[in-house]
Structure 1
Amino acid sequence: MANLLQSVMRAVFTALPAKQSLQAQYLKALGEWPDLDQPKTFNERVQALKLAPHNPLLPLLADKVRVKDWVAERVGRDVVIPTLWSGKVLPAQVPCAAPFVVKANHSSGWNAFIRTYDDATWQQLRVTSKTWLENDWYPFLHEWWYNEIDRLLLIEPMIGENLNDYKFFCFNGQVRAVQVDAGRFTDHRRSFYDRDWQQMPFSLAHDQIEGEVPAPRHLARMIELAETLSSGFAFARIDFYDLDAGPMFGEITFAPGAGLERFSPRSADRMMGDWWAESEQRLAPSRSGELPIAV
């Protein structure tokens, strides 16, 4: 019954005009009617971004294959996880040694972790991954840039197990908060730290990690990389993993949680919205008439 209701709701959200759909989804998720004409909170600004004139750069930066060259040109190839294979259809024979990860380049979460090779599992994955490329990335969320990507499958080496994700909330080249995700496939928890690694007193969608999280070994380098990659963007979230050899780039995200995740307390939503507004104001003098997220 729950799955049926969810399917019905998604059908309704897809059928509605974009603005009304996003307002209804926001109300359902967060219990408030958003002001998308004069957005103030972070989540409202994410929804407003979806409705803004389309910036052709967003599909490039959301593409898990093409973004690697963009990042490498700006900060060096050493922080980019190599692509072992890419194409439209997984080959009948596994093209590289395990362990590795198979992903769709136009989505979040459509992936498979192959730790040891098993032919039956591989053949089933060939079928499953075909459906990934046949499906739009949840059109009712109106994150249009994902569905303008030339869809591919890619294989990357598995860089570790149970790694923390470090997600840098950047506002025109300035890191203002770092989201740390732990236990994503077991007991997912999340905490926020400032750039000096002082814990911030709010949560987002998940309970906080128990106890203090040690600063990543390469925090200063990750801040440097995140600020370089996010320069010129009113907002961008730049993600990294922290390995022994140094940081490795994960992805660039412009709509975390689709702008539908609850901050606690809600004042943190407004605080980040204010950071976004300040960032736009800093960009305005040099970008008159342009999108604040453009580079």
Structure 2
Amino acid sequence: MLRNIAKKIYHSLPDTFYHQITYYRIFKKLPNLSRPLLFSEKILARNMKPKKIYTKLADKLQVREYIEGVIGEKYLINLYGTSEELTYAVYKNLPNAFVVKANHGSGFNEVVFDKTKTNYEDLYELTSSWLNCNFYKMTKEKHYDAIKPCLIFEELLLVGDSVPNDLKFHCFNKDGVIKVFIQVDYSRFGVHRRDIFDCDWNRTEIRLGLRNNPEPMLKPKMLEEMVSLATRIANQFSYVRVDFYEVGDKIYFGELTFTPGGGLCQMRPPTVQREWGSYFED
């Protein structure tokens, strides 16, 4: 009970105090918010004073319109529909395999490989918990506060019998020069591993929170096109992470992220924090 009270008090703190305490807990030092230099500090500053466009583009539904306008509709995952609640009528009309997401935060997604083996009541409880969650109050990433929650139902992308690896393009834009690092997340629903590549597909020594995969992913067939698409999107921002999937000979857009991990991801080697922080100015 005391732990719950402490947690409630902690999350009710003013944003600046909350972020300073949380940052200290992770990095064992206070962030420089008056003159941020490190990547984590600059992301933390965005959490508190985001640009208005971040709210629209962090919304996993609204961002589709933006992406269609910038790179084209053909890169969007097939959308089965949206809903403010997972009613049984909505559930019944979905295909046997699909992905359900909430639009207003991170981690709100569930893959349904076979609806005949899925319990509707359990899925209803899960999606209701997402919709009732204010992601801003969880993480204090302010641009999420104004997103109206809803559910999104999309086609399930598969490579063989598995979901494809996440290809996340960290795009830094300074003085018109765009620098790209590519994060690969393996086995999101198994033993989660992560690698960071440069734009020529050389695996770097950079570690973001997780261990490297024992075997690095082979160079994607559509890498050049994905880098081109990511830089077209990133041209409007000082820093953004652009997520794609490669399935066969097709590229699919995933999402845009402006504050990955809320700025709280441990990075190795330590010099990467200052290096990545030097690649953009907000």
Q: Mark the runs of 5 or more structure 2 residues left unpaired by the alignment.
A: none
Change in Cα spacing, 1:64 to 1:156, as seen in structure 2 (3 Å) is same
In the other structure, the counterpart of 1:284 is: none
* Aligned equivalents of 1:138, 1:188: Cα separation in 2: 25
**In the alignment, structure 1 residue 31 sits paired with structure 2 residue 28:** yes
In the other structure, the counterpart of 1:145 is: 143
In the other structure, the counterpart of 1:219 is: 223
* Aligned equivalents of 2:211, 2:16: Cα separation in 1: 30
Displacement of 1:264:
1.3
Matched to 1:232, the amino acid is Q
Match of 1:122 among 120, 123, 141: 120
Are the equivalent residues in 1 in contact too, given 2:47–2:262 (CA < 8 A)?
A: no
Matched to 1:81, the amino acid is I
Are the equivalent residues in 2 in contact too, given 1:175–1:226 (CA < 8 A)?
A: no
Displacement of 1:246:
1.7
Number of positions where the alignment pairs a residue of Structure 1 with one of Structure 2: 274
In the other structure, the counterpart of 2:156 is: 158
In the other structure, the counterpart of 1:72 is: 68
Matched to 1:129, the amino acid is T
Matched to 1:63, the amino acid is D
Displacement of 1:140:
4.5
Change in Cα spacing, 1:213 to 1:127, as seen in structure 2 (3 Å) is closer
Which shifted more, 197-206 or 91-100? Answer: 91-100
Q: Does the residue aligned with 2:93 lie in a helix, a strand or coil?
A: coil
In the other structure, the counterpart of 2:78 is: 82
Matched to 1:28, the amino acid is R
Are the equivalent residues in 1 in contact too, given 2:171–2:240 (CA < 8 A)?
A: yes
* Aligned equivalents of 1:119, 1:167: Cα separation in 2: 31
Displacement of 1:8:
5.3
Q: Mark the runs of 5 or more structure 1 residues left unpaired by the alignment.
A: 281-291
Displacement of 1:30:
1.7
Match of 1:266 among 265, 270, 277: 270
Are the equivalent residues in 1 in contact too, given 2:96–2:114 (CA < 8 A)?
A: yes
* Aligned equivalents of 1:126, 1:166: Cα separation in 2: 29
1:167-178 → structure 2 map (5 Å cutoff):
167-172=168-173, 174-178=178-182
Are the equivalent residues in 2 in contact too, given 1:85–1:95 (CA < 8 A)?
A: no
Matched to 2:163, the amino acid is N
Match of 2:53 among 42, 46, 57: 57
Displacement of 1:255:
0.9
**In the alignment, structure 1 residue 207 sits paired with structure 2 residue 211:** yes
Displacement of 1:158:
0.4
Match of 2:261 among 257, 262, 266: 257
Identity %: 30
Match of 2:88 among 88, 92, 97: 92
Q: Does the residue aligned with 2:196 lie in a helix, a strand or coil?
A: strand
Change in Cα spacing, 1:37 to 1:140, as seen in structure 2 (3 Å) is farther
Deviations 1:187-222 (CA, angstroms, capped at 9, x unpaired) = 111111111111211201000111332111110010
* Aligned equivalents of 1:51, 1:18: Cα separation in 2: 7
In the other structure, the counterpart of 2:247 is: 243
Which 4+ stretches in 1 moved above 3 angstroms? Answer: 7-10
* Aligned equivalents of 1:10, 1:275: Cα separation in 2: 36
* Aligned equivalents of 2:83, 2:51: Cα separation in 1: 26
After TM superposition, the score normalised by the length of structure 1 is 0.87
* Aligned equivalents of 1:119, 1:274: Cα separation in 2: 49
In the other structure, the counterpart of 1:289 is: none
Are the equivalent residues in 2 in contact too, given 1:101–1:156 (CA < 8 A)?
A: yes
* Aligned equivalents of 1:218, 1:175: Cα separation in 2: 18
Displacement of 1:126:
2.1
Are the equivalent residues in 2 in contact too, given 1:21–1:140 (CA < 8 A)?
A: no
Matched to 2:110, the amino acid is A
